[in-house]
Amino acid sequence: MRRNSLAVSMILCGLICCACRTQPSSTRLTVADFELISTEIAARLRQSDFLTDRTPQSKRLILTVESVTNLSTDLLSEVEKWYLVDRVLDAPTMRSLGQSKNIGFVIPIEKLHLFKEHVNETANIARNRQPTHVMRTVLRSISRTAGADRTDLYDVEFKIVAIPKGQLVWSDHFALKRIARGKAYN
């Protein structure tokens, strides 16, 4: 009897372990990916010709940002989009730019509109907001699948555009690859 019950329990465990192994596997971006992308891009921007050529005496540059344009297969919430760009601007390498490079940061226009709605004020708030440059971010991905194997290459493009001339003054890419095995319905 004991032998039988042991055998039954082993079979059950085997089945359960197999079920666990086919747990859904995903190539979606993780929080660690967001951190890697933002840290890397902040470092590259800091070292770019666009910034290294600037001094405290350079003409004042007022930078604003736009939310991420997500053209990838991953679904990003508004919060996640803002998290990615905010992390670039909040990186330790970027914080010292105010004085050393004569750069100011102003509230993004989307956030300003939300703020105005929230405080129910339409006049005079950010009246003198005049950004000279905007940072844009585009997230793309290319997907490859073969059977149960899936690969997604994510490519994030950051670029800074001068306002109002529309001149592209800086751009860079960062790519990362994620793999997964298994179907979403497993």
Q: Is 125 in the site for other proteins (CB under 8 A)?
A: no
Half-sphere exposure of 93 (CA within 13 A, CB side): 15
Contact of 84 with 137, CB cutoff 8 Å: yes
39: left (phi over 0), alpha (psi -120 to 50) or beta: alpha
Cβ neighbours of 41 (radius 10 Å): 24
Q: Which of residues 161-180 bind other proteins (CB under 8 A)?
A: 161, 163-168, 171-173, 175-180
Q: Is 157 in the site for other proteins (CB under 8 A)?
A: yes
Q: Which residues contact 175 (CB under 8 A, 6 or more apart)?
A: 153, 154, 155, 156
Q: Is 144 in the site for other proteins (CB under 8 A)?
A: yes
Residue among 77, 146, 184, 185 that touches other proteins (CB under 8 A): 146
User: Which residue ranges make up the site for other proteins (CB under 8 A)?
Assistant: 1-2, 4-6, 8-10, 12-13, 16-17, 20-21, 23, 25-27, 30-33, 36, 64, 71, 109, 127, 130-132, 134, 138, 140-147, 149-151, 153, 155, 157, 159, 161, 163-168, 171-173, 175-181
